[in-house]
Amino acid sequence: MNNKLQTINDVLSIVPARRLQGEVSVPGDKSISHRAIILASIAEGTSIIRGIQRGKDCLATLKILKMMGVETEGKGDDLIIYGKGPTGLKEPRDVLDCENSGTTMRLLTGLLSAQNFYSVLTGDSSLRKRPMGRVIEPLRKMGAQIFAREKGRFPPLSIIGRHLQGIDYSSPIPSAQVKTCLFLAGLYAKGNTSVTEKYRSRDHTERMLKFLGADIEVNNLKVRVKGGASLSGGELRVPGDISAAAFFIGGAAILKGSRLKVLNVGLNPTRRGFIDVLLGMGAHIKILNLRKKCGEEIGDIEVRGRGDLKGTLIEGDLIPRLIDEIPMLVVVGCFAKGQTLIKDARELRVKETDRIKAMSVELRKMGAQIKEKEDGMVIEGVKELRGAECNSYKDHRIAMALAIASLCARGKSKILDMECIETSFPGFEEILKKVVV
């Protein structure tokens, strides 16, 4: 039995690992799972979603759709959804709880704005602090009627569904949640809805809409959806989540002597910034068995740790391609030679927690040299980190990044409030134990 990691009373105790070794699979992609649940629910006919992720965020989306009459079946990795068609959802009898999930709230705000009923969306204390103006403002331009706290900026949201009108929207922030929200509303709107971004955010929605038969046109940074088209359910396959795989890949790249393979990982170009950056830092990574399933690239990722990483610059159009992997990249930066500079990442301040602050404060406890900037961080590589007692801020990605940092440090560590990992990665500790040597 592996005793390098142990959770008691929600506190993870970690002793350093020598290396990561073996083969692992990670849960299904969270972004794709949310989209599959929502689109299958409003499609005509039955869909089977293979490899669905059952973390708390995706289950919150599923529960909400069930409250609107969607019927589902299946356990484990497969989920059958009996599509209601575009107008088949029913008015929910209670407030819809998005829990910790920004994706659930922002995507469903678009969908619910176009239904012929009233609904209220809320979430936990973290989600109720997250900005919703970014979806409410453009939806109002489409004719949506949405009320929210602090002059339409924060949840709970109260929505009176209406007929909407398509718009051409230039999004001030590259955000797949904003884009997807507007496309979900746009499917019901009169005319076309287009979203133009400065940098391309993840494009899973575009790919899945195309796969399910929507009328969608991608023209570089502008994507247009035609209103009124209905979707046809079918078989959807969810690849492994690169954002979950990143913790293992990053750990193996840091720990000299590691040899790790992560199987069936989604490698959509709008999501694989983490791999591209690690390759640029000198990591020994190979992509094997690259293939395409249901419109998404999938491959196996092989990593060898040689302890020879060098610092890098992460900015601009790279940011949306690795936004969720930045906590782990900060850890990798601590073990690289020289400086790693992260810029243009202000969005991190409004994630589940302020991730710039959280990673800077916690890794400094371990001896890291990190300077906080308004839109990023300056990380100076150090010879080693030392074990410490750290806070997760109840943010799943902070918790997992700190767990890997602790495995790569010298001396024992403790990380508080580990339950939050269930948000996106059920089974994280067990899977990690299999490869920690």
Q: Where are the alpha helices (DSSP H) in 79-130?
A: 102-113
Q: Give the interface size with ligand S3P as a residue count (CB under 6 A).
A: 12
**Among 92-100, 123-131, 170-178, 286-294, the segment contacting ligand S3P (CB under 6 A):** 170-178
Is 103 or 109 the residue whose CB approaches ligand S3P more closely? Answer: 103
Out of 176, 236, 421, 436, name the contact with ligand S3P by CB under 6 A: 176
Q: Does 362 bind ligand S3P (CB under 6 A)?
A: no
Task: Return the structure tokens found at 25.
Answer: 């699979």
Nearer to ligand S3P, 30 or 261 (CB): 30
103, 119, 258, 423: which one contacts ligand S3P (CB under 6 A)? 103
Using the rule CB under 6 A, give the single segment among 20-28, 171-179, 407-415, 425-433 that binds ligand S3P.
171-179
Nearer to ligand S3P, 82 or 154 (CB): 154
Other beta carbons within 10 angstroms of residue 150's beta carbon come to: 10
Catalytic residue among 29, 324, 375, 417: 324
DSSP single-letter state for residue 232? B
Of 244 and 336, the one with the shorter C-beta distance to ligand S3P is 244
The DSSP letter of residue 261 is E
Helical H segments across 46-131, by residue range? 56-67, 102-113
Per-residue CA distances from 93 to 96, 111, 285, 385 (Å):
9, 17, 50, 52
The answer to whether 88 touches 115, Cβ cutoff 8 Å, is no
* Residues from 228 through 267 that contact ligand S3P (CB under 6 A): none
Closest to 268 in 3D by CA, of 3, 21, 35, 13: 35
Residue 115 vs residues 105, 119, 152, 192, 337: alpha-carbon distances, Å? 15, 9, 20, 18, 54
Closer residue to ligand S3P (CB): 57 or 429: 57
302 φ/ψ angles, rounded to the nearest 5 degrees: -110, 130
Give the x/- contact pattern for ligand S3P in 416-435, rule: CB under 6 A.
--------------------
Which backbone phi and psi does 416 adopt, to 5 degrees? -90, 155
Q: How far is the CB of 350 from ligand S3P (least distance, A)?
A: 8
Q: Active site includes 57?
A: no
**Residues with active-site annotation:** 324
Could you list the residues that contact ligand S3P (CB under 6 A)? 31, 34, 103, 175-177, 180, 201-202, 323-324, 347
